[in-house]
């Protein structure tokens, strides 16, 4: 193959700050061969994006390359200046960012934006550029490319926007495509489509791809080689199979153990978080950067000198002095399942719940059409019950109505129709302001965004104490303080955090405070809306485990809203799968995660990337987009995207609820025998489960 397309050698990148230069990346080596797809994986803050920007030579005013070289296609990138560099960017090297909306100019039509690329980089005329743009839109499999050309960015969905951005990057006929978390902002089923598209196009056009992601499963499924980064260094590189199957660095292993695997038994594969936090650049420890968090740390060897990258096998290197001594095949840590409190009485019952949001009427349109205003049908007939000490997960893509349901439950919104009974009391039509304090205390919530969940103006202790005072019945200053300290212990935060402000806490720590706050009043039901999705993988595991422990100890009912099926599998007792405001399948975790499936559940399971190399998976790609909730399709809500659609009946009639023994219910027209005959999506070999 000769010289690789891209080669970073001993690359060091620093940022100038007021308190001196801070090294972001040091001694970094990376090779991307021609036509090869290489993954760059690591937690946020490890320097992945800095490397990408360095390759684009776009480090901003404060960043600079302190040492090393970057060679692209035989030329020295670092020697390029001005015009030469500009021709390269968006031409031979294309880049796709995380936020598609931020990459598109909102005041230009898609067609004009796309046509600019061949006009600038290929010197094409207007007509020719348009033709190329149209062709590329077809290639990225956008429906009705002619219409898309005339659209404005805001008229497209997130997945469509990202396809346009990819088309734009590919129009420059790049030899290297850098993808920086290209699907993190998208739903799993959309993500699966985009990842498949990128893979297909890269093969077809012979483009090399540098795929940056924090998602191990995604990297494993898309890349040939992978480079694991930690604290600004590459700690392990090699072929995907070798790195994921026979890792030689404790950090790689830690990452893999921290990710739940859908399809694997939660007791055979407990989540093991990595202790500690990523050191800040400038505060990195001597010797191995990972040693303060490493379980194999040996004083005198790991915390001294420079740890070099060493050969660990053919095309496999690792930055660890001890990898020969570690028994990598040793059994994974095992934890006995915590005693599951047997579900008791029904705490929460929801019947025929419906929530419509009226759209503001346009007076003129209403006059002409004569009808009433349109409505967003966020929730459409939801029925279920949750028992004491049970964990019920609600899964579904964004826009399926799961967050609206949480709001209605909390009383932040009121139901349009239907009933919610909380411990026997009807609360569905009562806004939280009018609920009795004793009722309010029964139901608490953990929010998604750790950066918004705490009031930045008040100390941690004050915010927990407020809940203790309201629901704990405590008035005495000392008693409240003691209870707050107890709660800090419960979420395993140091007591010194009592006087800290939220901005002094990391995302995971904030979420711990939010958990303490939610449990402070001894609620019967806690609603957790994506409580870990904004956190890094190594922290996610810790928070998820903490939540589960506290819930089991207190016998609280937990409603866990999530899009992460692996996590749901790990945490939940029962699962509700939502699509367009309806529950399309419900049952225990085992029932939902194995056949018979609702076709949507089947697609969701298939779309979730799996990091474990031993799990094999059947691929199902969903066509099209989630229909708008203002005009849901008639008949079955899923009929527009269903790969198992039967025909007319799906378009005209709402499917019946088929009951498969116990509480397993599926909303589908397909006869039960056929649903039962479907093969499992995920196959775990016997030895991995044991």
Partner 1 sequence: MALSHPLPEEDEAQPVAPAPAWRGPLAALGRLRESPIAMTGAGILLFWATLALLAPVLPLLDPNTPMEPFKFPGDVARDGETVFWLGTDHKGRDMLSRLVWGSRRVLVWASLATACAYVAGVLMGLVAGYRGGWRDEVISFAANVLLSFPVMVLYIVVITRLGASGLNIVLAVTFASAPGIMRIVRGLALDLKSRDYVQAARARGEGPWRIMLVELLPNVRGPLIVDACLRLGYTTVTIAMLGFLGLGLPPPDPDWGQMIAETQPLGSLAGHMALLPAAAITSLVLGFNLLADGLREISLRD
- 473 preceded by a cis bond (ω within 30 of 0): no
Residue number, 58 or 436, with CB nearest to partner 1: 436
In whole angstroms, the minimum distance from the beta carbon of 238 to partner 1 comes to 22
In whole angstroms, the minimum distance from the beta carbon of 206 to partner 1 comes to 43
How many degrees, rounded to 5, is the angle at CA 484 between CA 480 and CA 488?
170
Find all residues with CB under 8 Å of 160, minimum gap 6, and list them.
Answer: 142, 148, 625
SS3 302: coil
In whole angstroms, the minimum distance from the beta carbon of 486 to partner 1 comes to 16
Query: Where does residue 673 rank: exposed (0-12), middle (13-18), buried (19+ CB within 10 A)?
Result: exposed
SS3 2: coil
The DSSP 8-state label assigned to residue 291 in this structure reads: G
Find all residues with CB under 8 Å of 621, minimum gap 6, and list them.
Answer: 192, 193, 196, 603
In whole angstroms, the minimum distance from the beta carbon of 330 to partner 1 comes to 5
Query: Where does residue 588 rank: exposed (0-12), middle (13-18), buried (19+ CB within 10 A)?
Result: middle
Residue number, 126 or 334, with CB nearest to partner 1: 334
Residue number, 74 or 473, with CB nearest to partner 1: 473
Residue number, 179 or 543, with CB nearest to partner 1: 543
Phi, psi of 667 (to 5 degrees): -95, 90
In whole angstroms, the minimum distance from the beta carbon of 281 to partner 1 comes to 14
In whole angstroms, the minimum distance from the beta carbon of 487 to partner 1 comes to 15
Residue number, 129 or 278, with CB nearest to partner 1: 278
Checking 73-82 for CB contacts under 8 A at 24+ apart, the result is 73/5, 73/6, 73/175, 74/3
In whole angstroms, the minimum distance from the beta carbon of 72 to partner 1 comes to 36
CA distance 538 to 507: 12
Strands (E), 107-239: 176-180, 208-213, 225-230, 233-239
In whole angstroms, the minimum distance from the beta carbon of 202 to partner 1 comes to 38
Find all residues with CB under 8 Å of 485, minimum gap 6, and list them.
Answer: 495, 498
Residue number, 335 or 619, with CB nearest to partner 1: 335
| Residue tagged 């749901």 (tokens) | 568
Find all residues with CB under 8 Å of 115, minimum gap 6, and list them.
Answer: 126, 129, 130, 132, 133
Residue number, 463 or 639, with CB nearest to partner 1: 463
Give the tokens for residue 323: 């990898």
CA-based diameter of the chain, in Å?
82
The DSSP 8-state label assigned to residue 89 in this structure reads: B
Residue number, 197 or 271, with CB nearest to partner 1: 271
Residue number, 260 or 273, with CB nearest to partner 1: 273
Residue number, 111 or 441, with CB nearest to partner 1: 441
Give the tokens for residue 203: 């093969």
> What kind and span of H or E run contains 530?
none
Give the tokens for residue 82: 């001005």
In whole angstroms, the minimum distance from the beta carbon of 410 to partner 1 comes to 5
Residue number, 96 or 467, with CB nearest to partner 1: 467
In whole angstroms, the minimum distance from the beta carbon of 433 to partner 1 comes to 7
Considering only CA atoms, which of 255, 190, 182, 223 is closest in space to residue 40? Answer: 223
Residue number, 364 or 496, with CB nearest to partner 1: 496
In whole angstroms, the minimum distance from the beta carbon of 593 to partner 1 comes to 27
In whole angstroms, the minimum distance from the beta carbon of 525 to partner 1 comes to 12
Strands (E), 497-596: 525-529, 557-562, 574-579, 582-588
Residue number, 368 or 496, with CB nearest to partner 1: 496
In whole angstroms, the minimum distance from the beta carbon of 600 to partner 1 comes to 29
Give the tokens for residue 94: 């294309």
Inter-axis angle of helices 599-607 and 188-205, nearest 10: 50
Residue number, 230 or 579, with CB nearest to partner 1: 230
In whole angstroms, the minimum distance from the beta carbon of 494 to partner 1 comes to 6
Residue number, 407 or 644, with CB nearest to partner 1: 407
> What kind and span of H or E run contains 471?
helix 460-471
Task: Check the CA dihedral 321-324-329-334 and report its sign.
Answer: negative
In whole angstroms, the minimum distance from the beta carbon of 201 to partner 1 comes to 39
In whole angstroms, the minimum distance from the beta carbon of 569 to partner 1 comes to 21
Residue number, 47 or 508, with CB nearest to partner 1: 508
Contact 80, 57 (CB under 8 A): yes
Contact 211, 38 (CB under 8 A): yes
List interacting residues with partner 1 (CB under 8 A): 272-277, 283, 295-296, 325-327, 330-333, 335, 410-412, 432-433, 435, 437, 440-441, 443-445, 447-449, 452-458, 466-467, 470-471, 492-494, 496, 499-500, 504-506, 508-509, 514, 517, 521, 539, 542
| DSSP character string of 391-453 | EEEEE--TTSSHHHHHHHHHTSS--SEEEEEETTEE-TT--GGGS-HHHHHHEEEE-S-TTTS
Alpha carbon distances (Å) from 688 to 121, 261, 577: 51, 12, 27
CA distance 467 to 462: 9
CA distance 464 to 452: 15
């Amino acid at each position: 193959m000769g010289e690789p397309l891209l080669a970073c050698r001993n690359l060091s990148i620093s940022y100038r700050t007021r308190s001196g230069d801070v090294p972001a990346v040091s001694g970094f080596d990376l090779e991307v061969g021609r036509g090869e797809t290489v993954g760059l994986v690591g937690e946020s803050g490890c320097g992945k994006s800095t490397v990408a920007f360095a390759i684009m030579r776009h480090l901003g005013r404060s960043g600079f390359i302190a040492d090393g070289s970057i060679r692209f296609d035989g030329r020295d990138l670092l020697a390029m200046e001005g015009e030469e560099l500009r021709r390269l960017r968006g031409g031979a090297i294309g880049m796709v960012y995380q936020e598609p909306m931020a990459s598109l100019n909102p005041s230009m039509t898609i067609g004009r934006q796309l046509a600019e690329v061949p006009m600038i980089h290929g010197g094409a005329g207007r007509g020719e550029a348009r033709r190329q743009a149209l062709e590329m839109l077809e290639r990225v499999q956008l429906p009705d490319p002619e219409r898309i050309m005339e659209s404005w960015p805001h008229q497209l969905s997130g997945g469509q926007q990202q396809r346009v951005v990819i088309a734009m990057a590919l129009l420059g006929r790049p030899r290297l495509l850098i993808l920086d978390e290209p699907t993190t902002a998208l739903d799993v089923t959309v993500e699966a489509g985009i990842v498949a598209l990128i893979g297909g196009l890269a093969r077809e056009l012979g483009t090399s791809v540098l795929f940056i992601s924090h998602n191990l499963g995604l990297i494993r499924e898309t890349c040939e080689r992978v480079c694991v980064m930690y604290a600004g260094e590459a700690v392990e590189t090699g072929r995907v199979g070798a790195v994921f199957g026979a890792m030689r660095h404790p950090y790689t292993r830690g990452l893999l153990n921290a990710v739940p695997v859908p399809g694997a038994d939660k007791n055979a594969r407990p989540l093991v978080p990595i202790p500690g936090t990523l050191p800040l650049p400038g505060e990195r420890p001597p010797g191995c950067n990972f040693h303060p968090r490493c379980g194999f740390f040996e004083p005198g060897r790991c915390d001294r000198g420079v740890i070099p990258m060493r050969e660990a096998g053919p095309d496999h290197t690792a930055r660890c002095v001890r990898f020969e001594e570690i028994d990598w095949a040793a059994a994974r840590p095992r934890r006995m399942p915590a005693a599951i409190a047997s579900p008791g009485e029904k705490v929460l019952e929801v019947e025929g719940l419906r929530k419509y949001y009226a759209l503001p009427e346009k007076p003129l349109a209403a006059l002409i059409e004569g009808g009433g205003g349109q409505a967003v049908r966020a929730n459409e007939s939801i029925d279920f019950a949750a028992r004491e000490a049970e964990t019920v997960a609600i899964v579904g893509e964004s826009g399926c109505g799961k967050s609206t349901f949480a709001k209605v439950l909390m009383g932040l919104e009121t139901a349009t129709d239907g009933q919610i009974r909380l411990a026997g009391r009807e609360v569905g039509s009562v806004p939280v302001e009018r609920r009795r304090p004793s009722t309010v205390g029964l139901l608490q919530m953990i929010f998604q965004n750790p950066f918004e969940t705490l009031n930045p103006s008040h100390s941690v202790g004050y915010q927990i104490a407020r809940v203790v005072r309201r629901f704990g019945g405590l008035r005495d200053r000392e008693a409240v303080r003691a209870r707050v300290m107890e709660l800090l212990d419960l979420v395993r935060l140091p007591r010194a955090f009592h006087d800290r402000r939220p901005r002094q806490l990391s995302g995971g720590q904030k979420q711990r405070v939010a958990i303490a706050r939610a449990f402070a009043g001894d609620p019967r039901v806690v609603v957790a809306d994506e409580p870990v999705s904004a956190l890094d993988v190594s922290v996610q595991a810790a928070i998820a485990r903490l939540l589960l422990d506290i819930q089991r100890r207190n016998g609280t009912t937990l409603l866990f809203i999530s899009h992460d099926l692996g996590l749901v599998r790990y945490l939940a007792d029962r699962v509700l799968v939502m699509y367009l405001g309806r529950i399309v399948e419900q049952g225990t975790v085992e029932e939902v995660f194995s056949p018979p499936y609702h076709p949507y559940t089947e697609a969701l399971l298939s779309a979730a990337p799996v990091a474990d190399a031993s799990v094999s998976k059947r691929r199902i790609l969903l066509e099209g987009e989630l229909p708008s909730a203002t005009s849901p399709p008639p008949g079955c809500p899923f009929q527009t995207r269903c790969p198992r659609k039967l025909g007319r009946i799906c378009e005209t009639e709402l499917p019946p609820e088929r009951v498969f023994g116990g509480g397993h219910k599926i909303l589908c027209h397909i006869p039960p025998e056929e649903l039962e005959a479907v093969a499992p999506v995920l196959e775990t070999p016997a030895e991995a489960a044991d």
